[in-house]
Structure 1
């Protein structure tokens, strides 16, 4: 058995430390050691994105990253996006635009969308679709997820999200 290593992380602005085996995955350390349960365990192959977290300014799939690889990192999860004043605008827009159904993929979707909007504050619908391609949803059909992200971008850029609602469902186009 491998020796345990001392792991230090900053997660959602708080310092965390633990001992872990070098083979332990980041998703398990987050959920089981630190009780940060927003990121979900989905496919465990990095295909679904339910475990997406922001690590040092990049979206990563925590199910295929060893915790040891995150040593000293700054991590933001969906829990870290909210503030004492309430939910982040992305969380609000996912709720308002029904960008979730079962909710299993939602934390990873929102965390990835947050990074996408950090990288590209005013994306087009096509750029959102491309930027979110690594996060899968089995319930929604994505239309409302895209609407939610574009509405959040509009609000974050000081525009009226309702007037900016460019994504149309097939019924709206007909």
Structure 2
């Protein structure tokens, strides 16, 4: 897991920065592995997309728990509006899935657009979220940032 060693700064995000996107994962700083996390994905065109990411095993664990507790019709179904399921835990696996969604344009179908969170950087793609998929930035590797971005948290907090 990515750690920055700074706790209590008020910034709840672990950030993955790639040329095609910036992903901010809302993580507990004491978590060693992640199998269920909310993420915000910022695109170069200024749009922001929300995802809830689960592993296959985490979905099974939740269904089993709900069967025992009687929640969600005794665990008879599972859904989330912005759901993304990945085969293995960890920020790296989740970033790989996000990369694919961004580069093939599916982020606009899978994610939920965060109105009011969009950044004013639409000049890069003319404001079209799908334009990122056809840009040359989708072929580059990730730059993992093992710190939390205070500037991003402040922007989110202040709207």
TM-score if structure 2 supplies the norm length?
0.29
TM-score if structure 1 supplies the norm length?
0.27
Higher Cα radius of gyration: 1
Larger RCO, structures 1/2 (Cα 8 Å, 6+ apart)? 2
